Structure formats: structure tokens, C-alpha cells
A and B are shown apart, each in its own frame.
Chain A
Amino acid sequence: MDKTWNNKAWFMVLPVLVLVAFNAIIPLMTVVNYSVQETFGDNVFFFEGVKWFQQVVNSERFHAALLRQLTFTFTILAIEVPLGVAIALTMPRRGPWVSVCLVLMALPLLIPWNVVGAIWNIFALPDIGLLGRVLNGIGLDYNYTRQPEDAWFTLILMDVWHWTSLVVLLAYAGLSSIPDAFYQAAKIDGASRWAVFRYIQLPKMKRVLTIAVLLRFMDSFMIYTEPSVLTGGGPGNSTTLLSIDLVKVALGQFDLGPAAAMSIIYFLIVLLLSWIFYTLMMRNEERS
């Protein structure tokens, strides 16, 4: 049978194309445009080539922010993924408590991000915040607005509180998809609790956990709102993550060129690391 060629079908794709162009391609190209030019205002631009890229790549300030960003991301991944799996394992699989648990778990995810920042900002204040008062009350010298370690501690605690639920929900979905027969067979095979986790639950959760790790990686690597409201990058520069630094350069100093170059490098790092993560986690899958 001859194939019917009907080029009118392209018109069907057009709306999507326009949408993608407006919300992704055009803004991205604007940034690319800025990243290779210098401006002194009045919409006058000079071509600068790769100068801004060289400047960013060699800047110690950028290195420091990148290091902070990596530290933050890997710390919260190391806490949130095991913790999320552990919580999902303890949640009931049947009965009236399931919905209660799910709603409780989903609550932090429903709070607007800047509200989360504001909540923790006040909650952790050493003089009036509950957390701050309690920590100081038990004899710790805690002040997140002055001590970098305390700021980091609060920042990570906030992120764990806000986002562990996502891992819990995904891991729980993975666990719920395991048929009862697997647990029954494991009982008959005399498997220990650990063996059930290692050989049944973990393999069945692998796919959703891959997604959870990827989502948490990307989100935490691009996090802006919560730390910006909580510490604003301080004290000093101690919690200035990449995105906060970027905003400082772009809107604080109004250095459009370097900020644009930094955005692109930032974007490429996220892309590269996501790809590495994904490849590593999927490698076993393909081998067998």
C-alpha cells in the first residue's frame, strides 16, 4: 500500500513548536546572545567572544560557589534517599492509615517554596524561634545568622524536611507495586528481613529510586528560593550556592555578560551530571 503523504500534519505540530520556542528556545538563545557580548547600557552591545566564559571558568568565586553547591547536593542526597526509603518501608501497606500517612507526607511538598524559607527563617531564629531557643536551651551555641556551620545545618535540615517526602512517596509507590506473592515466597524460603529488602524490595524500587535521585539532584542543584529566604547566602558567602551567586552577579552587579556565561556553564554542569547519574544507575539494567 502506498503511504499517504499529507504535509498538512505539520500544522498540527506548530502550536507546540511555538510554545517550546517561546518558553525555552528563545529565552535560552537570548542568554547565549548576552554571553558573548558586552554592554554599557542604552542597548549598545559589543561582541566579546568567549571572554566571559574564560572569566567564569577561571574565577575563584565561581569555584567556591560550585564547591558549596556540590557539597549541599550530595549531602542532602545522602540523607534524603536512605531516609526516604526507610520511612517508606515503615509506612503501612493497607488499611485506613495509608491515606493519613500519604497526606502527612505530601504536606511539606504543598507549601510554597518561599514560605518554607520564611517558616524556617523564623523557626530557627536564636532569640524567638522555637528551634533556635531549644538548641540554645540545651546548651548549644546556635545562631544561623552568624555561624556558617549553623547556617549549613539549618539549610540542610530545611531541605530534608521539605523534600524527603518526595523520595518517600516515590519509594512507597515502588513498594506498593510488589505483589504479595513475593513476600509469601520469601517467607517460605526463610528469608530474613534484610534479605527481603536486599533481594525483593530494593530491586523493585530501583527504577523509582533512580527517578527520585535524578529529581532530587536536579532540584537541589538549582535550588534558589528557600536558601535565599533563609540565609540570603550568608553569613558572608558561606551559603552562597550557584543560583544565589548567579542572581548576585546578574541582578546585584548587573553584569549581564558574565551572568549569561555563568548560566550556560551552570546549565551544562546540571546536564552533564544528570547524564552521568542516569548512565551509572542504568548500567546494570542494560547489562542483564
Chain B
Amino acid sequence: MARILLDNVAHAYGPTPRGLPDYALKPLNHAWENGGAYALLGPSGCGKTTLLNIISGLITPKQGRILFDGKDVTQLPTAQRNIAQVFQFPVIYDTMTVAQNLAFPLRNRHFPAAEVSKRVSEVAQMLELTAILGKKARGLTADVKQKVSLGRGLVRPDVSAILFDEPLTVIDPHLKWQLRSQLKALHRQFDLTMIYVTHDQTEALTFADTVVVMYEGEVVQIGTPADLLERPAHTFVGYFIGSPGMNVLPADLRGNHAVIGGGYEIELDRPYREIPPGTKLEIGVRPEYVRLSSGEEGIPVAVQRVDDIGRIKVARVRLDGVHLNVVAPEDARIEGDVSRILFQSGHVHLYADGHLVGGAAS
């Protein structure tokens, strides 16, 4: 049971950082609430694993404090934090049986033998490993190995948070779903905080209640999956989440209208006045909220192609040199390769230097 609080935590590999770009993880304040299911989402090299390793204690951050239920654990070694971690590539002890693998963390902590075997059989049952407890761990398949390494985390009665570092990377696609739903079930069953690192948005959005999106060492948005889709706090979030990602167009501001290339005006939900001059302005709108017109109204665009992505059709269009993805309804009017698009007001967001203006940015 732990609430994990990061207080101004930042880390840089190598020598003392000179400026913000030197940080692998830029200063971050965040509380991971007890029992939450979090996903840490971002492209490779954005600092996800660094953040995870700071929480588990494998890395001591260059600055800031980590508090577990108010207790400062920043300098505490990994073994003394009640944290378990599952790695990208399954870590198992080859020479041991599955049962011995599961018992290993308890034996190292000198639990009495009776309790060890009780916990091991409980965890084995939970993870459906009972049948292979006596087998050598070496010959197992990747998904079972990953279950065993998860089991080594669950077996400790003191564990209050489990960290997952892209745990399904080496698992076959059809087993991924199975393991992920098993994880969700475990999360519901126990009062565990789970932090799940991934670069796969589907994995993040289906697993987590709260998604933390990272980009170049910085947390750019913390929110529910719906938040990320409806109000991306950063153009990166809009682009990274959703398939296809959010459309981003350079724009100027005129009252409560955005002026885009070609001089077209798009209505915004409210007037913006707080923009200092010299900032780079863009509007972002998800493909779902732009559609090809079926009549004469709208902004003319050149249609390049139309893809059927299942439930809807998405058209790739060009507007004054900018490429956009828009929804193509069945009755859309395309003359030659020319059509018109309509923006759905209320879903057009304004971004200044990449960050959502007046939004719920971190």
C-alpha cells in the first residue's frame, strides 16, 4: 500500500547537466496514487525507463526526492523498497525450477519455509503456473517466463507497486491480449499500484486508468485515455495517440478565429487574448472532427487518397501544402480530386509552441 510521490525529480546520465536538454528526465512532480493503474507512454528514448528505474531505485536521481507514503526513500536501495519490476526481456533463473524461481525473493529475505511454500502455491494458482511448478525454468516459452518473473514480484507480501518495463515486447500477439487482461484482473483483485511502460498506445489505453505521456524527457500530459483523445495537452500527444493522429496546422489568431494557410478562417470555441507575440501558433484537430463535405460549403482541398480503416473511411487531403487526415463520409462529394472540408467547432484546439493554450496541460 503506497502512494508514490515524486518531488521535483530529475535525472541526467553522465556529468552534471548544464541545461534542460542534458536531462534524460526533466524535473517532474507527480503522485502515483495507491491502487492506480498507470501507463507510461512515449516513443523509445523519451525517458520512460529512466523514470521507472528511479521509482524502483535502480537509478538514484540527480535531484529531487521520492516519497513512499511520505517516507523519503530516495537513497534507499532497491531491495529495501516494496517494489517489484518486470523487465522487457523475461528474467528467470535458468538453473532453478519454476517453484524455486517464485520462492527466490522470499528465501533471500529469510521467510520461514512454511510461508514460502504457501505464498508460492498461492501465486502459482493466481498465474496458472501450478502445473509446471516442478519444471526447470530454462525451457519455458517467453510468455510463461514473463509470468514467472511477474510471479516473483507478486509473491512478496510487502509489495505495493509493480513496475512493468514494456513486458509484452517479446510475447506473441495472440498471447499479449491474454496476459494483459490477466494483469488487469490481478490489478482489480489486489490493492496494487501498477505502472506500465510502453510505446504502444493500444496497450497503454486499454491497461491504464491514467496515462502519462512522455516526450524528450518531459511529461507532456497526465490524463485519462479520454482526455488524451479529446484534449491533447501537447501537439506531440495529439500526433502520438490516435490512429491516425491529430492534424496540426500552422495558424494565426484573429479574434475567436484561427487563420490558416490560404487565408481561410476557422472558428475557435472562445477568443484567446493571453498569447504573447512571437510564439508559434498552431491549431490541432482530430481527424474525427474534420469531414469531407457532401455539399458546396467548406474549405477546398486536394484529395490524395481515401483509406478504408474499418468502421470509417479516412481521406488524406492537402490544404495549402499541409497534409490532413479527415473523415470521408459515404456521401462525400469529390470532383476530380477536389473536395471541401468542414471543421467541427468545439474540437479545434489552439497550441502555442506545442502546448495547449488554456488547457489542462501538465
- Interface positions of A (Cβ within 8 A of B): 179, 181-182, 184-185, 187-192, 195, 199-200, 203-204, 288
Contact B138 A288 (CB under 8 A): yes
Contact with A along B315-345 (1 / 0, CB 8 A): 0000000000000000000000000000000
Q: CA separation between A203 and B108, bound complex, in Å? A: 19
Q: CA separation between A288 and B108, bound complex, in Å? A: 25
Residues in A whose Cβ lies below 8 Å from that of B93: 199-200, 203
| 10 more A-B residue pairs beyond the given contacts A179-B91, A187-B77, with a C-beta to C-beta distance below 8 A | A185-B85, A185-B149, A187-B58, A187-B78, A189-B104, A190-B105, A190-B109, A203-B94, A203-B95, A288-B139
Question: Is the CB of B234 closer than 8 A to any CB of chain A?
Answer: no
Residues in A whose Cβ lies below 8 Å from that of B95: 199, 203
Residues in A whose Cβ lies below 8 Å from that of B239: none
Residues in B whose Cβ lies below 8 Å from that of A191: 104, 108
Residues in B whose Cβ lies below 8 Å from that of A184: 53, 56, 58, 78, 85, 87, 91
Task: State the interface size on chain B (CB cutoff 8 A).
Answer: 28
Q: Chain A residue with minimal CB distance to B90? A: A181
Contact A189 B105 (CB under 8 A): yes
Q: CA separation between A238 and B108, bound complex, in Å? A: 50
Q: CA separation between A185 and B156, bound complex, in Å? A: 14
Question: Is the CB of B136 closer than 8 A to any CB of chain A?
Answer: yes
Contact B88 A187 (CB under 8 A): no
Least distance between A154 CB and chain B CB atoms (Å):
39
Q: CA separation between A188 and B87, bound complex, in Å? A: 11
Contact A188 B108 (CB under 8 A): no
Residues in B whose Cβ lies below 8 Å from that of A195: 104, 108
Q: Choose one: B91, B96, B139; the contact of A185 (CB below 8 Å).
A: B91
Residues in A whose Cβ lies below 8 Å from that of B91: 179, 181-182, 184-185
Least distance between B51 CB and chain A CB atoms (Å):
15
CB neighbors of A among B79-123 (8 A): 79, 83-85, 87-89, 91, 93-96, 104-105, 108-109
Contact with A along B267-289 (1 / 0, CB 8 A): 00000000000000000000000
Least distance between A260 CB and chain B CB atoms (Å):
46
Q: Chain A residue with minimal CB distance to B57? A: A187
Main secondary structure, interface of B, reads mixed
Least distance between A180 CB and chain B CB atoms (Å):
9
Q: CA separation between A202 and B264, bound complex, in Å? A: 69
Q: Choose one: A179, A187, A288; the contact of B79 (CB below 8 Å).
A: A187
Residues in A whose Cβ lies below 8 Å from that of B79: 187-190
Residues in B whose Cβ lies below 8 Å from that of A204: 94
Contact B85 A288 (CB under 8 A): no
Least distance between B120 CB and chain A CB atoms (Å):
14
Contact A188 B78 (CB under 8 A): yes
Main secondary structure, interface of A, reads helix
Question: Is the CB of B48 closer than 8 A to any CB of chain A?
Answer: no
Contact B136 A188 (CB under 8 A): no
Q: CA separation between A1 and B153, bound complex, in Å? A: 55
Contact A288 B136 (CB under 8 A): yes
Least distance between B86 CB and chain A CB atoms (Å):
9
Residues in B whose Cβ lies below 8 Å from that of A182: 91
Contact with A along B38-82 (1 / 0, CB 8 A): 000000000000000100111000000000000000000111000
Q: CA separation between A162 and B139, bound complex, in Å? A: 39
Question: Is the CB of B11 closer than 8 A to any CB of chain A?
Answer: no
Contact A188 B88 (CB under 8 A): no
A-B CB contact pairs (8 Å), 8 listed? A184-B85, A184-B87, A187-B58, A189-B108, A190-B105, A191-B108, A204-B94, A288-B138
Question: Is the CB of B152 closer than 8 A to any CB of chain A?
Answer: yes
A182, A185, A192, A195, most chain B CB atoms within 10 A: A185
Least distance between A188 CB and chain B CB atoms (Å):
5
Least distance between A2 CB and chain B CB atoms (Å):
38
Q: CA separation between A181 and B56, bound complex, in Å? A: 13
Q: CA separation between A56 and B85, bound complex, in Å? A: 64
Q: CA separation between A185 and B109, bound complex, in Å? A: 15
Least distance between B73 CB and chain A CB atoms (Å):
14
Least distance between A282 CB and chain B CB atoms (Å):
14
Least distance between B304 CB and chain A CB atoms (Å):
44
Least distance between A29 CB and chain B CB atoms (Å):
44
Residues in B whose Cβ lies below 8 Å from that of A181: 87-89, 91
Residues in A whose Cβ lies below 8 Å from that of B138: 288
Least distance between B158 CB and chain A CB atoms (Å):
11
Q: CA separation between A189 and B86, bound complex, in Å? A: 11
Closest 10 CB pairs of A and B: A185-B91, A190-B108, A181-B87, A190-B79, A189-B105, A288-B136, A187-B78, A199-B93, A203-B95, A203-B94
Q: CA separation between A213 and B108, bound complex, in Å? A: 31
Residues in A whose Cβ lies below 8 Å from that of B56: 184, 188
Known: A190-B79, A288-B138. A185 touches B87 (CB 8 A): yes
Residues in B whose Cβ lies below 8 Å from that of A179: 89, 91
Residues in A whose Cβ lies below 8 Å from that of B94: 203-204
Known: A181-B88, A184-B87, A185-B87. A192 touches B108 (CB 8 A): yes
Q: CA separation between A200 and B109, bound complex, in Å? A: 18
Q: CA separation between A204 and B94, bound complex, in Å? A: 9
A179, A189, A190, A200, most chain B CB atoms within 10 A: A189
Q: Choose one: B57, B139, B152; the contact of A189 (CB below 8 Å).
A: B152
Residues in A whose Cβ lies below 8 Å from that of B88: 181
Least distance between A205 CB and chain B CB atoms (Å):
12
Least distance between A50 CB and chain B CB atoms (Å):
47
Least distance between B21 CB and chain A CB atoms (Å):
24
